[in-house]
Structure 1
Amino acid sequence: MGIHTAVFEQEAADRLALRELVDAYAHCADGRDAEGQMALFTNNTHFVVYMDSRSSEPTQELHGRDALLPVFDNLNTYETTTHFNGQSTVTVNGDSAAGETYCLAHHVWEVEGQRTLMIASIRYLDTFTKLDGQWFFAERKLMVDWTETRPSTP
């Protein structure tokens, strides 16, 4: 953990904007706003999913903002989701930044008449870029550390 003797106004503004970007992603996911979610990414974004974070091979790799629609639209298979963003780190370097955010993603759906809950422990490894004063995801690696699936009550 770093020692901060002073934070410059621009750095503080950038850090806040980056946290708002990360939280907007979760908010759009839970609200099933795939178009809004896509708008958080650069046109030439790189999105990589590792359903097992220990694997060196990604489960899915997408290039470009338009390729994201099927991934984000897939959330409609669930009745509801709730993404809790936890601790995050970010390093800002001018108009680029890198960060890691922890998230517990809760997914509820029905399986053979039984309400089911799947919790995924996710780490997002992000590269950000600032374009025309606004921050975007340039690359997002979704790393699933573990999942748990169990029956749930209404």
Structure 2
Amino acid sequence: MENMKKLSLEEVTDRVAIRDLIDAYAYCADTRDADGQMALFTEDTVFRVFMDERQTEPTQIVYSRTDLAPVFDSLTTYVSTMHFNGQSKITLSGDTAIGTTYCFAHHLTMDGGDKKLMVAAIRYSDDFIKINNRWFFKKRDLKVAWIETKPLNS
């Protein structure tokens, strides 16, 4: 524990605010608040989806906050979702930061009377920026490590 550096109050505040931003993203996804989710991003954001994290080229790229609407609205195809954020590694540099967050995203579908659960293991790679004392996603890469789909008993 000797090597633990002392954090300033500002750094602690920034770290808590960034974690709140990360968790707000998941909360908005699960409550189907696409407008709230979009508001977490800068106007000129870059959002990239890699359906296989081993690929170098993204499956999808979005270049602005307003163009995120269909991406986030697509969650309405599921009966329910539940995102569980795990550990995060954040590196602060003034009013910018980079980070990685682990997430299990649960997606429930119904086909007639059959329920299916799809769980995606996701790593988010983020660039953050603080504007007017508020943190935003400047760039977010959603990288799917694996997906498991299984029948779900009632």
Instruction: Report TM bin, short chain.
Output: over 0.9
Please report how far the alpha carbon of residue 42 of structure 1 lies from its aligned counterpart in structure 2 after TM superposition.
0.2
Please report how far the alpha carbon of residue 153 of structure 1 lies from its aligned counterpart in structure 2 after TM superposition.
1.8
**1:109-128 alignment runs, 5 A limit:** 109-128=109-128
Match of 2:14 in 1: 14
Aligned residues: 153
- Paired AA for residue 86 in structure 2: G
**1:44-55 alignment runs, 5 A limit:** 44-55=44-55
Bigger mean CA offset, 4-13 vs 40-49: 4-13
**1:68-83 alignment runs, 5 A limit:** 68-83=68-83
**1:72-111 alignment runs, 5 A limit:** 72-111=72-111
- Paired AA for residue 33 in structure 1: D
Match of 1:135 in 2: 135
- Write out per-residue CA displacement over residues 32-70 of structure 1, whole angstroms, 9 at most, x where no aligned residue: 000000000000000000000001111000000001000
Please report how far the alpha carbon of residue 110 of structure 1 lies from its aligned counterpart in structure 2 after TM superposition.
1.1
In structure 1, how many angstroms separate the alpha carbons of the residues matched to 2:3 and 2:18? Answer: 20
User: Which consecutive unaligned segments of at least 5 residues does structure 2 have?
Assistant: none
1:37 and 2:37 are equivalent in the alignment:
yes
In structure 2, how many angstroms separate the alpha carbons of the residues matched to 1:112 and 1:92? Answer: 48
> What SS does the corresponding residue of 1:32 show, helix, strand or coil?
coil
- Paired AA for residue 145 in structure 2: D
